[in-house]
Amino acid sequence: MKKIILTGDRPTGNLHLGHYVGSLKNRVKLQEEGNYDEMYVFIADIQALTDNFKNPKKVRDNILEVVIDYLSVGLDPSKVTIFIQSMVPELCELTMYYMNLVTLSRLERNPTVKSEIKQKEFGNSIPVGFLNYPISQTADITAFNANIIPVGDDQLPMIEQAREIVRSFNSIYGETLVEPEAMIPDSKVCRRLPGTDGKAKMSKSLGNCIYLKDDSDTVKKKVMSMYTDPNHLKVEDPGNTKDNPVFIYLEALATDEHFKKYLNEYKNLNELKAHYEKGGLGDVKVKRFLYDVIEDILTPIREKRKYYEDNIKLVYDILKEGSIKAEKEAANTLKNVKRAMSIDYFN
Ligand code: ATP
Ligand code: MG
């Protein structure tokens, strides 16, 4: 079977460290290994509009921001097709057909959608488009016959929903669609990186992010004011490293090389953790180290960003070319879907 990788991001803001450890790093690794037939990465503007429909400018502006983030972390348009969701209208048509295969109560049971509805304070006024986005996501995945989806763990219910739709479609209309599988990071802390405020998820909508494009001063300010263990008041106090986002970030990002380079009195994170847990290690020292680690990762990303910011036409060309290629592929799947459903009247 062909190996087809697909992922997307909502253009609701710049990409952050959660995206980096949860999904972007995996994408670049897969790209470099080259062991796949096709790889698609797309900007989910239709999905972003489901909860930002009153703010189209925000969505429009962030399309460019997100693509530049992609290119800055190393996604290479000669190896990966990068496209804009709304430039592939076949996705909307597929969504329409898949909607028949899902009940309202099934959509309402989706745990990620449920918590997002609460977070966005929709109350009883949930836009139909928002509730429907997992179906639209199934269209995105199946249009390209994608079977490997590198995501953070908040996306697992979406992949499950997609698998159900594929099975239902194939059993009613005959074997047509490919069942996708989620690929989540090996390391548990990377599957859902918490926010700088200690909240369960770093998320553009929650304003608790360190963005890939943040400059050094901003990163320093954010790191130095991060939530840590509230009971670790004095340096001598024993500290908790488990629910402490500073240590969680170090677990997600710091390598033994970083210790050698910036904090060589400790060999690795285990030693640093042991000292903090015993007492005698202050938050400021740990935060300074975290800042150095983040800077080490972000400096080359910022440099690349600068190049693309100065070459915006090139970025648009990449998007245009990718969108044309993606539309061809989606049109082919749509043709197969319509044939399977016996709605190909004039053929
Ligand atoms: P929004 O708040 O608008 O939903 P977001 O920050 O959740 O934005 P998305 O564009 O929804 O970002 O997510 C894109 C991808 O990044 C998904 O695969 C998601 O699982 C992953 N991701 C997002 N936030 C995190 C995080 N904190 N940790 C790990 N992965 C994440
Ligand atoms: Mg999200």
User: How many angstroms does the Cα of residue 203 sit away from the middle of ligand 2?
Assistant: 7
Task: Give pLDDT, residue 204.
Answer: 86
* pLDDT tens-digit series, residues 53-73: 999 999 999 999 999 999 999
Q: Are residues 167 and 296 in the same domain?
A: no
Does the beta carbon of 27 sit less than 6 angstroms from any atom of ligand 1? Answer: no
Residue 202 counted as domain residue: no
User: How many angstroms does the Cα of residue 61 sit away from the middle of ligand 2?
Assistant: 18
**How far does the chain reach from its first CA to its final CA, in angstroms?**
29
Partner residues linked to 6 by β-bridges: 40
This prediction has a pTM of 0.94
Report residue 130: phi and psi, to 5°: -70, -50
Task: Give pLDDT, residue 346.
Answer: 93
* pLDDT tens-digit series, residues 245-303: 999 999 999 999 999 999 999 999 999 999 999 999 999 999 999 999 999 999 999 99
Does the beta carbon of 196 sit less than 6 angstroms from any atom of ligand 1? Answer: no
Task: Give pLDDT, residue 347.
Answer: 81
Closest CA to 294 of 224, 240, 191: 224
Report residue 150: phi and psi, to 5°: -80, 110
Measured N-to-C along each axis, helices 216-224 and 283-309 cross at an angle, to the nearest 10 degrees, of 150
The boundaries of the domain holding residue 141 are: 4-192+312-340
Does the beta carbon of 193 sit less than 6 angstroms from any atom of ligand 1? Answer: yes
Q: Token pair 């496209």 is at which residue? A: 83
Q: Are residues 32 and 80 in the same domain?
A: yes
Does the beta carbon of 138 sit less than 6 angstroms from any atom of ligand 1? Answer: no
Q: Are residues 91 and 32 in the same domain?
A: yes
Residue 211 counted as domain residue: no
Minimum CA distance residue for ligand 1 atom 26: 18
- Cα–Cα distance, 220 to 213 (Å, whole number): 13
CATH number of the CATH domain containing 299: 1.10.240.10
Residue 292 counted as domain residue: yes
* pLDDT tens-digit series, residues 75-123: 999 999 999 999 999 999 999 999 999 999 999 999 999 999 999 999 9
Task: Give pLDDT, residue 205.
Answer: 81
Residue 333 counted as domain residue: yes
Closest CA to 115 of 200, 9, 52: 200
User: How many angstroms does the Cα of residue 151 sit away from the middle of ligand 2?
Assistant: 11
Residue 199 burial (10 A CB sphere; 0-12, 13-18, 19+): middle
Cα angle at 3 between 152 and 30, to 5 degrees?
50
* pLDDT tens-digit series, residues 9-55: 999 999 999 999 999 999 999 999 999 999 999 999 999 999 999 99
Token output for 228:
């840590």
Q: Are residues 185 and 282 in the same domain?
A: no
User: How many angstroms does the Cα of residue 86 sit away from the middle of ligand 1?
Assistant: 20
Q: Are residues 174 and 226 in the same domain?
A: no
**Atom nearest to 201 CA in ligand 1:** 27
Task: Give pLDDT, residue 139.
Answer: 98
Does the beta carbon of 154 sit less than 6 angstroms from any atom of ligand 1? Answer: yes
Does the beta carbon of 204 sit less than 6 angstroms from any atom of ligand 1? Answer: yes
Does the beta carbon of 150 sit less than 6 angstroms from any atom of ligand 1? Answer: no
User: How many angstroms does the Cα of residue 19 sit away from the middle of ligand 1?
Assistant: 6
Task: Give pLDDT, residue 223.
Answer: 98
Measured N-to-C along each axis, helices 283-309 and 312-340 cross at an angle, to the nearest 10 degrees, of 90
